[in-house]
Amino acid sequence: MLDRSAVNAVLNEALKTGGDYSELFMQDSDFNNIRMVDGKVDSASYQRRVGAGVRVLKGTRCAYAYTADTSEAAIMETARAAAAAIEGVPEYSVRSFEVRKGAPGYEKKFADVTNDMRIELLRSGTAAARAYSGEITQVEANYLDADHRIMVANSNGVWAEDRRPRTRLIIETVAMNGTEAQTGYSAPGLGKGFEAYRELDPAAIGREAARIAVTMLHAPECPADSVPVVIESGFGGVILHEACVHSLEATSVGRGNSEFCGKLGQQIASPIVTAVDDGTLPGAWGSIAYDDEGTPSRRNVLIENGILKTYLVDLLGSRRMNGHPLTGSSRRQDYTFAPTSRMTNTFFAEGKDDPEEMIRSMGEGLYAANMGGGSVNPLTGEFNFAVLEAYWVRDGRILTPVRGATLIGKGSEVLMKIDRIANSGLALAPGMCGSASGSVPVNVGQPRIRVSEITVGGKGGKL
């Protein structure tokens, strides 16, 4: 990392062609990845990634340049490269820095962990998955950890340092009965050091992945219909993430490409819905102390009792949105990306409803116990999600597991159709979210919820 005088010089150099804001982002990160297939280590890698990026703004114009060489001379050249895209008269200089530092975020450093310790986690998860059923024919287990050390300084006088440890264990299984195959998946993760494995049990992760695969192996195809759907806690929150909050990011709103443009203060969801993005949760996968512009992370209530309260806004987004306040939501994958508005830990808040009553009173419908991947169009809010584990409900009782279910709809419509939110059971599930500034770690979450009607896609007939 450069000292303050060198950073000051870089930021002033970036302002010389007429920019009104300059920013330096520096990164020093370590990554460990180990992959095991059927109990044998298939690959192992260690990577260290170091670099810096310089951004210059003038109004809503943005120029960004980056380098893997973190010497003062190289970063100065990078600042000149970014500044060259801006034309004007120099009017601004760098303010005195106010230094902010995040807590270390770990108890046990990954640098103090041996690969034998990492491999033992994979072996435990693999063995548990294999032992669950003779129908499990393949187990792939992946361990990853990352230790990100970042510094961001800008011409407004911000100097912020953050350390972001994260680790995750991913187990995928295949179950076969001779003619058909189904997969299972479980992949918890935390924003902690290696002490995370006091909470994350590899054997439990392996059994869960195996259970899903075996359950779906014996399930009939899901019928297609428009029915009530109960969505389970944890990864069920992908509905909120994809079908709603992507459309609340300044990346979309600031360009007029969101179905929620101009709707602050208006009802956009059922009155029982409160939705939050909170980057301050201790040890959570998506948490940060400071965002990648140096703004402190915060708890943002996006929707309160159905009313839209705020968007997720970075500096450039704020300029495009007539000065909307910053929300500590500026993020990037690494130094090769300029930052933009992104989610952290996003979830529906707990409501007032009995989670068991949701199924008892729904008549015929679908219980989505585990969500898979999906896609959404932020402009229209139209989405399509696969359901990893699903059950058909009739007369308020689970009739049978079903496979191949998809949920199809529009975010704004689904938000208005949420008629139950459980009074307990809020859980978060980790993932990686891709957008304009690369792939960043995020949590999705919710308690159990019910939507009064969603289009369910499937290839099956009437059950």
Q: Cα(50)–Cα(27) distance, rounded to whole angstroms? A: 5
Residue 270 in domain: yes
- Its domain, for residue 412, covers 225-457
Of 198, 217, 236, the domain-final residue: 217
Residue 254 burial (CB < 10 Å; 0-12/13-18/19+)?
buried
Residue 197 in domain: yes
Residue with tokens 């003779």: 134
110 and 76 share one domain: yes
Q: Is 227 helix (H, G, I), strand (E, B) or coil?
A: strand
Of 197, 217, 237, the domain-final residue: 217
- Give the pLDDT mean for 89-113: 91
82 and 29 share one domain: yes
Q: Cα(171)–Cα(182) distance, rounded to whole angstroms? A: 14
Nearest to 34 by CA among 125, 96, 131: 125
Contact 239, 432 (CB under 8 A): no
Q: What is the pLDDT of residue 320?
A: 97
Predicted confidence band of residue 238 (pLDDT cuts 50, 70, 90): confident
| Packing angle, helices 115-132 and 202-217, rounded to 10 | 30
Residue with tokens 């982002």: 25
- Give the pLDDT mean for 212-218: 97
**Mean pLDDT value across the chain:** 95
312 and 399 share one domain: yes
401, two tokens: 């597991």
Contact 155, 83 (CB under 8 A): no
Q: Residue 81 pLDDT more than 90?
A: yes
Strand partners, 304: 307
Q: What is the pLDDT of residue 374?
A: 75
Q: Residue 38 pLDDT more than 90?
A: yes
- The DSSP code sequence of 58-82 is ETTEEEEEEES--SHHHHHHHHHHH
Residue 259 in domain: yes
Residue 174 in domain: yes
Q: Is 346 helix (H, G, I), strand (E, B) or coil?
A: strand
96 and 200 share one domain: yes
Contact 253, 321 (CB under 8 A): yes
261 and 153 share one domain: no
Domain count for the chain: 2
Residue 382 in domain: yes
Q: Residue 117 pLDDT more than 90?
A: yes
171 and 229 share one domain: no
Beta strands 365-376 and 225-231: pairing type?
A: parallel
Q: Residue 105 pLDDT more than 80?
A: no
Residue 127 in domain: yes
Predicted confidence band of residue 376 (pLDDT cuts 50, 70, 90): confident
Cβ-count burial 29-54 (b if 16+ within 10 Å, e if not): bbbbebbbbeeeeeeeeeeeeebbbb
145, two tokens: 């950890």
H-run or E-run covering 456: strand 449-457
Q: What is the pLDDT of residues 391-441, one digit of tens each?
A: 999 999 999 999 999 999 988 899 999 999 999 999 999 999 999 999 999
CATH number of the CATH domain containing 203? 3.30.2290.10
70 and 33 share one domain: yes
240 and 317 share one domain: yes
204 and 237 share one domain: no
Contact 310, 300 (CB under 8 A): yes
Q: Residue 379 pLDDT more than 80?
A: no
Of 217, 242, 259, the domain-final residue: 217
Q: Cα(70)–Cα(260) distance, rounded to whole angstroms? A: 41
Polymer length in residues for the chain: 463
Cβ contacts of residue 173 below 8 Å, gap of 6+? 129, 136, 138, 139, 140, 183, 184, 185, 206, 209, 210, 212, 213
Residue 355 in domain: yes
289 and 416 share one domain: yes
203 and 233 share one domain: no
Residue 462 in domain: no
- Say if pTM beats, i.e. exceeds, 0.85: yes
183 and 259 share one domain: no
One-letter identity of residue 357: E
